[in-house]
Every structure is written in structure tokens, then in C-alpha cells.
């Protein structure tokens, strides 16, 4: 071999090693289902052929969504085998693994414990730690080693469309104490945690999945409200911090937090002293993707101080752009090596049993006792418990955001089946319900659409990403007044949003039974309807 050929070969080897190092810092999205045909979101979830190829090229992490707990156990084993190296395998399971993967524990949203903390702080803290332990046990059982929680945002804006009940509190002290307790429980069971969304997404009225929110607060306000929960989580030893896609002109007037050296390197690394993994929020979100291409967004994030790039719009474009930035001197190779070392160190710190293959036959047996305790502790009831008045001709008026995205409402869900057994025929309202409303502020409901009989109103509302606004914009207060005047309101059940519950409850006379649960899952429905005098029959048995 000539010297020129040898030099070319060495350069080729160097390029391959650099691309593999670069790939290690990428976390791609995949379905928890095994086959391509089962993907729920093909736009973001790679087909198996591409996924396997990227993992063999060195991609270091996968975020998963969809499937049952036993299927996910098989999937994580498959992904580890394709990679041939330890992977970070994560999911957004802020409300227990069962929130995303059927068959595991599905727990009430974190804000439920924030409300409990106001009246029973010791109980709330103990339950938050148990919540973390339960989530970790389920995660390990299905092969996940990284949970993208706790949310450390302070939800002090009830109109927040994207955080809302995902937060642990509405004030910094509560949010910080409970997020830290969750972190201790989670990581004590051998799973990595992730505090998000730094430096604080709680006081926004825009959804960063759709646009770039702007937080105009000065540094003093950030120190008083937004930053304390992150300080608490860092003090509790949280393994990772996720960035927020929002603009904070007081910290960086040019770039959003995810792409800001002032925020990630100056504030998070320098002032808060965080030495763990820094991961971006998903770069496919419009707050970033509408302003930067996949490659440039990834490079900017690493320049700012991120270690891991989550869900770039095009993984190969991101890898190529990062490698080119190193080749040009824009990024240093040492910078990438430091991030890779943090990733490997986080994985190496997991217990051995956290890295063994999960057994799909024993994947995430749900902790029914904790799930029931959380529902019972956070249930709120007003009015006397009594059988709801119906002679078999009642109306079960159910409001959900989207019927196709309501996993809490299977056919046998108590909100449907228990109400039907009590004589309430279902009237399901989903998505756009403009035909329901008359436009009359005094009598907004089209009662002729409902038919005759007493009406049980069940509202499944909460802040949800991608909708662009918080729940509760429809005139339910006036609608309840209309039903009361017609002597047709049998009872009210609110699932999810405490803000809608607080808005509607004062409008009801004490003789009308009403109940609220922060949870929307069947177990919460069972508790709410029992409180209203509608008992689930022997076929219920929901233990989520």
C-alpha cells in the first residue's frame, strides 16, 4: 500500500469513528410495537429497517411510545440486540408506565399530589417517592432504563396548554419537594430520571409543540419561581435535565433555551453546577423545527451545551451535520467525547439487573394498591352520595378531547358501562362539537340533541400537547345552569383539570352530587362514579 493510500485509509477510519461518536449522542423515536404496520405515528417513528441500520451505526438511544407492556419488553430486547452496545431506552411516562404502555401501572397525574401536599404534606411526599419507585420497577420490567420525568415546571398559569397537570405543583416549594421525592424513589430502584423542561415551562400560554413560547420574566423572577424545583431535583441527584423550547430574552435575546449557551452552559452547568446529562426536548417540535433544519438544530444544541439530541427531524442529517461541524472546527471532538462519557457513565451506574433482558411474561405487573391509594387520596366529592335519579331514560353526556386518542375510555370503562347499567345512555362528544352549542349564552346546550331524561355530565378535560390551548374553554358553567333550570342535572364528574372543577363547583347547589379526580383512567372513573352513587358491577375490577 502506498503512503497516499495509507493516509486515505486512516482518514476513512477517522471519519467512521467520528460518525459513530456523533451517532452515540442521538436519541431516535421508535414505536413500542414490533411491526412497522403497527406504528401510530409513522411521521416520527422510524421503520424497523432504518431503525436497525441506525442502531448498528452507533445511535445511542431510543424513545418509545405505543404497545403493551409485554410487547415493549420484547421490543427493548430487540433494540438492544440490534445495537450491540448498551442503549439508553426511555419513554415519557410521567404518570407511570401504564400511561403509555397497557398493562403497567397508570397513576394519577403529578399535580394531584401537589394539591394533596397543601393539606397533607407528609402523605404527599411519601406518595411521590412511592410513585417514583413504582414507575422505576415497571420501567425496568419492560426494559426501560431512563424515565423522562419528573416535570419540574411550576404550573402557576392555569391556561398553560402543555404542562398543566403534568407538573408536581403550582408553587416552587411544592413542585421542588415532590419532584425531588419522585427522583429519589425512581433512582433508588435503578432507573435514570430527567428533570424537565429547563429553565421552566410552567408560566406559558403557548404550546412549544406548535410554536415558540416567550417568557418575559426577569432573572429575579426566574430565581424565585422557575429555577427552585430544578435546584431541588439536582440536589436529589437527578441523572439528566431536559431543555425547554422557549425564548427567555432576559437570559438570551437571540436563541431559545435549547440552543442557548447562556442557558445550558452558563446557567445550568455553571451556576447550578449540574454535571449530569443534558438532553434536548424533541427537536421535531415546531418551536425549533420551524426555524432550523435538522442538522443545524443538532449542531446548535451541542454548541449550547447539550449532550444528547432527542428526536431530530432527520437522524442521518443530524449525524452528518455534527460530524461536519467537528471537521470544520466549529465543534471540538473533545466536546463530543465529554458528552459520550457522560452517557456511558450514566449507563454504567445502573445496577446489573437494570441491564438484563426483560422477561415479557412478567412485564410490569401493575401496582394496583398504590394506584388505588393515589386515586382515593386525591378524590374530591361534594354533595351527598345517593343513587342518581333515572328510570332507565337518562343521558350520559361525556366530553373527551378526541375519541381516537382516549385510551382511558375503552368499551368497558366505568364511565360508559357503569353509567349504562344505571340507565344512562351514552352521548359522546369528541373533537369539534360546535353543533352542540346554540350560541345562546344563557342556554348554550342544544337539549334536543340530548333527548329526554336526567343528564349525567362527565368531563374528561386537561391540558394536552398539540391542542394549542388549555381545557375548559367551552361554556360548561352556563350549560350546567341550563340543566339545573330544567331540573335535568343528575350529577357532575370532572376528570383531569382541577381548574375546570374549581370553576364549576361553586355553580352547583349542594343537593347535586359532584366529584373530581385528577386521573382519567378507568380506576379513577370507578371511584368517581361510586362517590356519585353509580357502582361498577362485578365485571369492573379496574386496578390500573
Distance of CA 134 to the CA centre of its chain: 16
In whole angstroms, give the CA distance from residue 107 to residue 149: 14
379-531 under CATH 3.40.50.10870, yes or no:
yes
Residue ranges of the chain assigned to CATH 3.40.50.10870: 379-531
Q: Average pLDDT in the 523-544 region?
A: 73
Which of helix, strand or coil describes residue 14?
Answer: helix
Task: Say yes or no to pLDDT of 471 above 50.
Answer: no
- CATH for the stretch 22-362: 3.20.20.300
Grid coordinates of 252: 438570551
- Name the pLDDT band for 428 (thresholds 50, 70, 90): confident
Distances (CA, A) of 79 to 88, 342, 486: 10, 21, 59
Residue ranges of the chain assigned to CATH 3.20.20.300: 22-362
Q: ∠59-285-334 over CA atoms, to 5°?
A: 40
Residue 174 contacts residue 202 (beta carbons within 8 Å): no
H helices present in 58-169, as ranges = 69-83, 110-119, 121-142
Residue 138 contacts residue 177 (beta carbons within 8 Å): no
97-107 pLDDT, tens digit each: 999 999 999 99
33-74 pLDDT, tens digit each: 999 999 888 888 999 999 999 999 999 999 999 999 999 999
User: Is residue 291 among the annotated active site residues?
Assistant: no
Q: Is residue 397 exposed (0-12), middle (13-18) or buried (19+ Cβ within 10 Å)?
A: buried
Catalytic residue among 209, 245, 367, 544: 209
295-337 pLDDT, tens digit each: 999 999 999 999 999 999 999 999 999 999 999 999 999 999 9
User: Is residue 207 among the annotated active site residues?
Assistant: no
Q: Which residues of 207-223 are buried (b: 16+ CB within 10 A; e: fewer)?
A: bbbbebbebebeeeebe
Task: Say yes or no to pLDDT of 286 above 80.
Answer: no
Q: Name the strand (E) or helix (H) holding 173.
A: helix 172-188
Catalytic residue among 203, 281, 367, 544: 281
pLDDT at 42 (0 to 100): 83
Task: Say yes or no to pLDDT of 470 above 50.
Answer: no
pLDDT at 4 (0 to 100): 41
- Name the pLDDT band for 385 (thresholds 50, 70, 90): low
- Name the pLDDT band for 217 (thresholds 50, 70, 90): confident
Q: Average pLDDT in the 93-120 region?
A: 96
Instruction: Specify the pTM.
Output: 0.91
Amino acid at each position: 500500500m502506498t503512503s497516499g493510500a495509507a493516509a486515505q485509509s486512516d482518514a476513512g477510519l477517522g471519519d467512521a469513528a467520528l460518525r459513530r461518536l456523533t451517532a452515540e449522542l442521538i436519541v431516535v423515536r421508535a414505536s413500542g410495537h414490533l411491526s412497522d404496520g403497527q406504528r401510530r405515528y409513522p411521521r416520527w417513528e422510524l421503520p424497523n429497517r432504518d431503525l436497525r441500520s441506525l442502531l448498528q451505526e452507533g445511535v445511542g438511544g431510543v424513545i418509545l411510545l405505543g404497545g403493551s407492556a409485554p410487547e415493549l419488553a420484547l421490543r427493548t430486547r430487540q433494540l438492544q440486540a440490534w445495537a450491540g452496545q448498551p442503549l439508553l431506552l426511555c419513554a415519557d411516562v410521567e404518570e407511570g408506565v401504564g400511561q403509555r404502555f397497557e398493562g403497567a401501572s397508570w397513576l394519577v397525574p403529578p399535580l394531584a399530589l401537589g394539591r394533596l401536599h397543601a393539606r397533607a404534606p407528609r402523605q404527599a411526599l411519601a406518595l411521590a417517592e412511592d410513585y417514583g419507585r413504582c414507575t422505576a420497577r415497571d420501567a425496568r420490567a419492560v426494559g426501560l432504563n431512563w424515565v423522562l420525568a419528573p416535570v419540574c415546571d411550576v404550573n402557576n398559569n392555569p391556561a398553560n396548554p402543555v404542562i398543566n397537570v403534568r407538573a408536581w405543583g403550582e408553587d416552587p416549594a411544592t413542585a421542588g419537594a415532590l419532584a425531588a421525592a419522585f427522583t429519589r424513589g425512581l433512582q433508588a430502584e435503578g432507573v435514570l430520571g430527567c428533570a424537565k423542561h429547563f429553565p421552566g415551562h410552567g408560566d406559558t400560554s403557548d404550546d412549544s409543540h406548535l410554536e415558540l413560547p416567550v417568557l418575559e420574566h426577569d432573572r429575579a423572577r426566574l430565581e424565585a419561581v422557575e429555577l427552585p424545583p430544578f435546584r431541588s431535583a439536582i440536589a436529589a441527584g437527578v441523572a439528566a435535565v431536559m431543555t425547554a423550547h422557549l425564548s427567555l430574552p432576559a437570559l438570551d435575546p437571540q436563541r431559545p433555551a435549547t440552543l442557548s449557551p447562556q442557558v445550558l452552559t452558563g446557567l445550568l452547568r455553571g451556576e447550578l453546577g449540574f454535571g449530569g446529562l443534558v438532553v434536548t426536548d424533541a427537536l421535531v417540535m415546531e418551536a425549533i423545527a420551524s426555524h432550523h433544519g435538522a442538522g443545524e438544530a443538532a449542531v446548535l444544541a451541542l454548541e449550547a451545551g447539550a449532550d444528547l439530541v432527542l428526536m431530530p427531524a432527520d437522524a442521518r442529517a443530524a449525524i452528518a451535520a455534527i460530524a461536519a461541524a467537528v471537521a470544520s472546527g466549529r465543534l471540538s471532538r473533545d466536546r463530543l467525547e465529554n458528552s459520550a462519557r457522560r452517557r456511558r457513565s450514566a449507563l454504567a451506574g445502573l445496577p446489573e439487573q437494570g441491564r438484563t433482558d426483560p422477561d415479557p411474561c412478567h412485564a410490569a405487573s401493575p401496582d394496583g394498591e398504590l394506584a388505588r391509594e393515589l386515586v382515593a387520596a386525591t378524590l374530591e366529592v361534594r354533595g351527598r352520595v345517593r343513587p342518581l335519579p333515572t328510570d332507565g331514560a337518562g343521558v350520559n353526556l361525556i366530553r373527551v378531547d378526541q375519541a381516537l386518542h382516549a385510551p382511558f375510555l375503552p368499551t368497558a370503562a366505568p364511565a360508559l358501562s357503569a353509567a349504562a347499567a344505571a340507565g344512562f345512555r351514552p352521548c359522546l362528544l369528541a373533537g369539534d362539537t360546535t353543533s352542540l352549542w346554540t350560541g345562546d349564552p344563557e342556554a348554550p346546550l342544544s337539549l334536543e340533541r340530548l333527548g329526554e331524561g336526567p343528564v349525567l355530565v362527565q368531563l374528561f378535560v386537561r391540558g394536552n400537547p398539540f391542542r394549542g390551548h388549555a381545557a375548559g374553554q367551552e361554556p360548561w358553567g352556563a350549560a350546567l345552569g341550563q340543566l339545573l333550570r330544567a331540573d335535568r342535572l343528575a350529577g357532575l364528574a370532572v376528570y383531569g383539570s382541577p381548574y375546570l372543577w374549581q370553576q364549576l363547583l361553586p355553580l352547583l347547589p349542594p343537593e347535586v352530587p359532584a366529584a373530581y379526580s385528577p386521573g382519567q383512567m378507568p380506576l379513577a372513573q370507578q371511584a368517581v362514579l361510586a362517590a356519585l352513587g353509580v357502582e361498577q358491577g362485578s365485571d369492573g375490577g379496574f386496578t390500573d
